Structure formats: C-alpha cells, structure tokens
Amino acid sequence: MTDDAAVTVRAIISGSGDAPIIGRVEVAAPGPYQVQLALRASGICHTDIHSIHWPGRFIMGHEGAGVVHAVGKGVTGFTTGDRVMLNWAIPCGHCAMCDHDLPALCSIEAQRHGPHALARPVPMAARENGTEIGRMFNLGTMAEVMLVDEAAVTKIPDTLDFALACIIGCAVMTGTGSVWNIADVQAGQSVVVIGCGSVGLNIIQAARAAGADKIIAIDRCEMVRQRAQQFGATHSLPSDDDMDILAKSVRAITGPGADHAFECTGILALAFAPLKLIRMGGTAIQVSGFNAAPSLPNVELPPFLWNKKYIAALYGGCVPARDFPRIFNMHDKGNLDLAAQISKTWHFDDALAALAEADAHGGKHVIVHEGFSG
C-alpha cells in the first residue's frame, strides 16, 4: 500500500567529526519508486567508524534489514510487511554500466556521491529540525525508519533473522562476490587472504565452498588467524612488514605463489601487497577500498611480472538479483556461517556504546531495533 505521511523517528547522526548522537529526524513519505522501511537491524562496519570523521551532517549506517512500512507509486515488487535487506550500491538500471550488467559500477550512483561517498541531499528523504540531512551511501540505516529507492531493496527468506540479513548487504556480499564475480576462484586453486575481519572471513568461506585447495589466512593477530581456520582457512601466517619474507612463506605452501590474493584491510601501505604473493599470471584483488589514492614511492616497477592481474574491486561486483539469492542458498545449506561473524548485538538505545565498542575493539556488531509501528 502507499502512505502519504512522513514520520518522525530516532536516528544516529554524525556531524563533521563530532561524537555521534541519537537525534530525531523526519523521514519523508515515499515518492514514486521509493520504499519506506522500518528497520529491524543495522550492522556496524569499519566504514561506519571511519565516517564519524567525514565532513557534513548525516544519518549513519549502510547495512540494514527490516520491514516495508510504505511504498510509493509505481512500486510493484514490494508491499507493506515484506521482509527485506538493503544494498548500498544502488543501481539506476539504465546507464552504460547497468546495461553491461555491472550495476555496482552504476554511473548515476557514482554521481550521487560526494567526498567520502556521502549522499547528495536530493531528494529530501530526511530532515533534522526542518533542515535537509544527508544519508550515508544514500541509505542511513542507523535509524528507526528510512526512505530509499526501490533498487536498494531485496526480499529475504522468512527464516532469515534480520540481524544476519543486515550484514549480508556489505561485508558478506563484498567477500563472497570478490571470490565469485571478480576472481572466479576454481576448485583446486590456492587463495591468500590478507586481513581476516568480516570481509576476509567471507572470502575464506566462499573460497572453501568453491573448492579451493589451499586457503592461507594472513593477519597480525593470532586469535584472528585461529578464527579464520575455524571458518575454513587451511593455513595461517602472521603478518610481516617485509612482504618478501611473507611471499617466501606463501611460496613454501603453494609452490609458485597463490592463484589469487585478496587484500582486505584497506590499509594504504598494503594496497599492492597481494601482487607479491601471487604466481605469474595470478590475480591480486584489493577488496576493501582506499581512503586515499595508493602510490608506489621509490619503486621503479610494480611487481606485475609476468602476466599478473591487479583489480581494485567494488562491492564484489554485486548484482543483487543474482548474488543475494545465492548467499541465502549458501547459508541455508550450511556453507556460509553468518551468526558466528557477529560479535555482539545491541539495542538501539545503546547504539552509541556499540559504536564506541566497535571502534575500540573491532569485531562485528549489530544494532537491533525494537520495531517501529508508526
């Protein structure tokens, strides 16, 4: 059904480096091809922690799942009460990239993002004290209710918990998609994962499901390496500032080097590290994005020799209609552990403490909403 009423709700608001607050915002009624959602769960990603220092004032969050509260004119795929999750790379469906079946690289969506991927304020999806307020990645999932384009929404199975569904929209999709869509890992191949947080763990699980023979987890923390092996890594190595030493250790396991190496830390100095860990003709993938332009100071020639491929991948090449059902199926069959990835769940009232905990100690935290009834 449609609903012409805006609603006033609580939201986590960040403002130009100030500490986040729980404030109140007015969420607009859905316009044509828009969906208003009552959130049930919001994931906290490392990007959310970094966003606290971004410029401007905006509603935080880009991982979310909930229930359709109202729909605008022209929406035919969703109705009130549908259980859904969100994706943050929202495709327009008709630009050159979308026509090439690359919706995660949508040209129109790229134009909507200013510095640090903050949403442009049009259309006026939310207001704070009568003034337009931005929404992280055109979403703003850390709110009781949100308004989004219908292209951001995917139905979820009735049996899938909202807390699990919300993390699929970023870390899970980024990790699994990097294996399926970007690297195309095949049975019998070898894989290296640098950084075994949420994204890295999903790469490990997808690589295991694809039949990878050797899966090497690299992380500075021994407990994280042990956890990675519980998720399917066959070997683990401690991080080393000297990539040549680390490359020698990888070759001792794989022979010529790994078929695929994934960099999942987002640390600028490690942007090109996977190139040293792959064999000739192998694939190096920078998975988690950069916070600044990478460079190679004092290096005469990048370690591309010979026939190596380097890909800075976005969102695991996500095609929502193709990839999210595959993730649901993988979870249903027991090949993708979602619950074990979550460190702790928090009530919305304690969301600021959740952000502080995630900042101080890492891990995957999820804010659970009581449910907006309107």
CATH number of the domain where residue 263 is located? 3.40.50.720
Residue 165 inside a domain? The answer is no
Q: Which residue range is the domain that position 15 belongs to?
A: 7-155+343-368
Do 124 and 33 belong together in one domain?
A: yes
Do 145 and 19 belong together in one domain?
A: yes
Question: CA-CA distances (angstroms) from residue 275 to 30, 81, 279, 301, 302?
Answer: 47, 47, 9, 12, 8
Span 153-175, average pLDDT: 97
* Nearest C-alpha neighbor of 331 from the set 176, 221, 193, 104: 176
pLDDT in tens, 258-291: 999 999 998 888 888 999 999 999 999 999 776 5
Instruction: Kindly report the backbone phi and psi dihedral angles of residue 270, in degrees, each rounded to the nearest multiple of 5, phi listed first.
Output: -100, 5
Q: In this model, does residue 46 exceed pLDDT 60?
A: yes
Do 117 and 67 belong together in one domain?
A: yes
Residue 164 inside a domain? The answer is no
**56 CB burial (10 A radius; 0-12, 13-18, 19+):** middle
Mean pLDDT taken over the chain: 90
State pTM to two decimals: 0.92
| Structural domain total, the chain | 2
Span 209-238, average pLDDT: 97
CB 215 within 8 A of CB 234: yes
Domain containing 123 — which CATH number?
3.90.180.10
Question: How confident is the model at residue 294, as a pLDDT?
Answer: 65
Do 12 and 146 belong together in one domain?
A: yes
Residue 320 inside a domain? The answer is no
Q: In this model, does residue 2 exceed pLDDT 70?
A: no
Do 34 and 70 belong together in one domain?
A: yes
Question: How confident is the model at residue 360, as a pLDDT?
Answer: 84
Do 176 and 296 belong together in one domain?
A: yes
Span 304-331, average pLDDT: 95
What crossing angle do the helices spanning 198-209 and 222-230 adopt, rounded to 10°?
30
Question: How confident is the model at residue 188, as a pLDDT?
Answer: 98
Q: How confident is the model at residue 298 (pLDDT cuts 50, 70, 90)?
A: low
CB 9 within 8 A of CB 372: yes
Helix (H, G, I), strand (E, B) or coil at 157: coil
β-partners of residue 146 are 37
Q: Give CA–CA dist 362/342, Å, rounded.
A: 11
